[in-house]
Chains A and B, each alone.
Chain A
C-alpha cells in the first residue's frame, strides 16, 4: 500500500504519516480496549452516570498515553539511526502478464455488465 503511494509520487511526509497512522490505529484501539476492560471490571459502566464518567476518563487517558507513546516511538526511532525519513525496504513486485490479463479480463466483464444493465448494446 505504502509502496503504491510512493510510486504515485505523493510527498514522503504524507506516506509516512499514512503508515504511522495505520499502525497506531491498532495500538490506540488496543489501549482503549484494555482501559475499557479494566474500567468494566470495576463497575465503570454499571450505570448511566458511571458510564459517562468512565468514558470521559477513557478518552482523556487515551490522549495522554498517545502523546507519551509518540515520544517513546521517536526515541526508539532515533536509537536506530532515524534522521528525518522513515526508509524501509519495499517489497519488489514483478509485472506479471497473468495478473494483467486477469485484471483487464475482469474489468472488461464488469464494464460489459454495467453497460448491459443500462440496456446497451441490446
Chain B
C-alpha cells in the first residue's frame, strides 16, 4: 500500500507550553478523499503544519511519499509545492491587495516562466469561479469570496496533496456545495484531498476514509460506513453521529431493515434503500408501527 503522507507518533508542544500533539499517528493513501474530524483544539491544524514542514516534530517522524521529511531549503521547497494547505481564516492568508497577484504568489515562488504563471492563475481562478473578481481589491470581497481566493492561491501551485482546514465553515450552502464538487473534480484527477471538519454529515457522505482526533492523538480511523456508527468514539470527540447513520440505526433497531444492509451514504442511497427490497419492508414496517 502506498502512503503519500504519514505521521508516526508525532509529539509537538507550542513554545507557550500548550501540548498540541501527543503521539499522533496517521497514514494517508495516495489519491484518497480523507476527512479528519475532531473537536477544537484536538491538534488537527498542528498536524497539518507538520505535513509541509512548517512545524518540526519534537518526537516522532513525518514522511512524504515514503521519504522522511528533511528540513533543508531544497526539500522544503519541493514539499511545499506538492502539499498545499488552505487555512481556515482567509484573512490570515491573503496578503495582497489584488486577487490576481494573490493567486500568482504560489506559482511565482516556484520560479516558473511568466506565461506558465498566467496560465496556472487563470486555471485556478476558473476552477474556483473567481475569474470575475480578478481586479477587485481583496478587502472588498465577502467572506466566501475570500475563502475561494485562498483556495485558488493554493490550487495554482498544482499540489499533489490538498489539505483544507474547515473549507465549508462560514460558507452558504450553495458555495459549500460548489467547493465540495471542486474537491471531487480534483480527486478524479488524482489529487489526494484531506479535509479537517466538524461537519459529520459532510465528512460521512464525502470521505473515502476518516480519522478522528482528540487531545493530540488519532483516536479512531476507518471506512466511513464503519467508524461513523461508533457512537462512543464520536461522543469522545465531542461529535454527533451523521443523521443518515442515526436514521439507519433507528430503522434497524425497530426491525425495519435487514441485518445485511449497509448504512446509506447519501440521500440518493437512502432513496434507493427505500425503493429496494429492504426498503419495501421498511415502509411496511413503519406503517404497522404507526411511527417513524
Which of B88-96, B125-133, B235-243, B252-260 binds A? B88-96
State in angstroms the CA–CA spacing of A12 and B111 once bound together: 17
Confirm or deny: B121 has a beta carbon within 8 angstroms of a beta carbon on chain A: yes
Whether A23 contacts B138 in the complex (CB less than 8 A), given A73-B95, A76-B92, comes out as yes
CB distance from B163 to the nearest CB of A (A): 9
By a CB distance below 8 angstroms, the chain A residues around B64 are: none
Q: Which residue of B lies closest to A89 (CB)?
A: B104
Whether A80 contacts B105 in the complex (CB less than 8 A), given A23-B139, A86-B95, A89-B118, comes out as yes
Q: Check B54–A86 contact: CB distance below 8 A.
A: no
Which of B34-42, B77-85, B198-206, B223-231 binds A? B77-85
Contact with A along B18-42 (1 / 0, CB 8 A): 0000000000000000000000000
CB distance from B238 to the nearest CB of A (A): 24
State in angstroms the CA–CA spacing of A82 and B73 once bound together: 11
Q: Check A73–B92 contact: CB distance below 8 A.
A: yes
Q: Which residue of A lies closest to B111 (CB)?
A: A87
CB distance from B57 to the nearest CB of A (A): 16
Confirm or deny: A20 has a beta carbon within 8 angstroms of a beta carbon on chain B: yes
Q: Check A76–B93 contact: CB distance below 8 A.
A: yes
Confirm or deny: A33 has a beta carbon within 8 angstroms of a beta carbon on chain B: no
Q: Check A88–B87 contact: CB distance below 8 A.
A: no
Contact with A along B90-119 (1 / 0, CB 8 A): 011111110011101111111000100110
Q: Check B92–A81 contact: CB distance below 8 A.
A: no
Give chain A interface residues in 56-95, CB to chain B under 8 Å.
69, 72-73, 75-83, 86-91
Confirm or deny: A102 has a beta carbon within 8 angstroms of a beta carbon on chain B: no
By a CB distance below 8 angstroms, the chain B residues around A86 are: 95-96, 105
Q: Check B121–A89 contact: CB distance below 8 A.
A: yes
By a CB distance below 8 angstroms, the chain A residues around B154 are: 80
Q: Which residue of A lies closest to B163 (CB)?
A: A79
Q: Check B97–A69 contact: CB distance below 8 A.
A: no
State in angstroms the CA–CA spacing of A81 and B182 once bound together: 23
CB distance from B211 to the nearest CB of A (A): 21
State in angstroms the CA–CA spacing of A90 and B118 once bound together: 10
State in angstroms the CA–CA spacing of A55 and B289 once bound together: 63
Q: Check B104–A23 contact: CB distance below 8 A.
A: no
B interface residues, how many (CB within 8 angstroms): 37
Confirm or deny: B157 has a beta carbon within 8 angstroms of a beta carbon on chain A: yes
Confirm or deny: A10 has a beta carbon within 8 angstroms of a beta carbon on chain B: no
Q: Check A87–B105 contact: CB distance below 8 A.
A: yes
Confirm or deny: B251 has a beta carbon within 8 angstroms of a beta carbon on chain A: no
Q: Check B93–A81 contact: CB distance below 8 A.
A: no
Confirm or deny: A100 has a beta carbon within 8 angstroms of a beta carbon on chain B: no
Q: Check B109–A87 contact: CB distance below 8 A.
A: yes
State in angstroms the CA–CA spacing of A75 and B93 once bound together: 8
Confirm or deny: A5 has a beta carbon within 8 angstroms of a beta carbon on chain B: no
Q: Which residue of A lies closest to B138 (CB)?
A: A23
**Which of A75, A81, A90 touches B109 (beta carbons < 8 Å)?**
A81
CB distance from B210 to the nearest CB of A (A): 24
Q: Check A81–B110 contact: CB distance below 8 A.
A: yes
Confirm or deny: B216 has a beta carbon within 8 angstroms of a beta carbon on chain A: no
Q: Check A78–B101 contact: CB distance below 8 A.
A: no
Confirm or deny: A27 has a beta carbon within 8 angstroms of a beta carbon on chain B: yes
Q: Check A79–B91 contact: CB distance below 8 A.
A: no
State in angstroms the CA–CA spacing of A90 and B73 once bound together: 26
Q: Which residue of B lies closest to A87 (CB)?
A: B108
Q: Check B153–A80 contact: CB distance below 8 A.
A: yes
Confirm or deny: A108 has a beta carbon within 8 angstroms of a beta carbon on chain B: no
State in angstroms the CA–CA spacing of A76 and B97 once bound together: 16
